[in-house]
Structure 1
């Protein structure tokens, strides 16, 4: 394996590596209720994966002071139910073993990402980490992926993004990075393709099994 991998794989976390999208949905529902906004969960779930401020704006039409902190409190109360998705750890290791650089690139707040990283337990395999604290505008803006690329030291054409929502796909497309969509966040395959996914896999485990034949494998062949 080269000491400085020439291909980066930009990995979303929530819904892609850890099974948390529905817990975030419940946490936002409870948080907005505490701020006197009753929002049905079917409206919240499709927005999970975009930045929290934009999510609130989309749901209630304006910003809500303190909503992000309240959401974090509610999510922390549910943290015991968060688990690693099938094949997530194996995927990170397989990417590194194949000679690419696995990079976490998420709209999560730093305080939410810390326990997720502890749960994943793949720190020794990671190249770098980018979260919402590192950018002005999180997903679906390209900033998360663009910052991750800069830190990884690779251009967009030598990177692949992996995510589970349309917001991941939009962000990757805006950053010029081809993307793989996973079905573990609740979005359907055709929805992810419509937002720009080049390939669809059921979960991290199925992507790991097919890694050499995926666009990640092809990027490594070209590098």
Structure 2
């Protein structure tokens, strides 16, 4: 049975990913910062709650220890936790505003990935799925036909661009693990005040596809719900 750990999974894309993977037979470890919200979500889905705050080294280490004691292995790590950050004019954003976003969207992925590597390497087919965004694509944010081109969110977009590069570097470094980015697309979630035209189910298509595709597929790919696309 595939054991999948998902960060930030008590709501939105993480919750829907957990729901779909439980339905497909995965043992889902639902990671969330808030114990009450996390346990409620896990109980509703038939998952197991594991408390984790991706901005805190000790919390991530405790989550690894929890999984070590219970499952002893992780087959799929889904780095889903992410924030949009402060909604402000670009001229008013401070270095601290950027630090807050990068601490979750980039450094949180580094903390979690590094800590979970030993458990992933016990799997016969280890997989890391980083939940990125077309908002981090130079190509899409310069294409006037795409919604990404009309949005200005310097901290969020630059963090997702950094995550894309981090993924390609991890794919080169961790040759024994498939490491890919999933672009959910413009999906209605809390991060955009539910303004996206896609449902959370549509938004998790790429994440679920990467988590379930099985051995033999490539690493270092950028995948949306329509399939593999350019890094841009």
The answer to which structure, 1 or 2, has the higher relative contact order (CA under 8 A, 6+ apart) is 1
TM-score by length of 1: 0.46
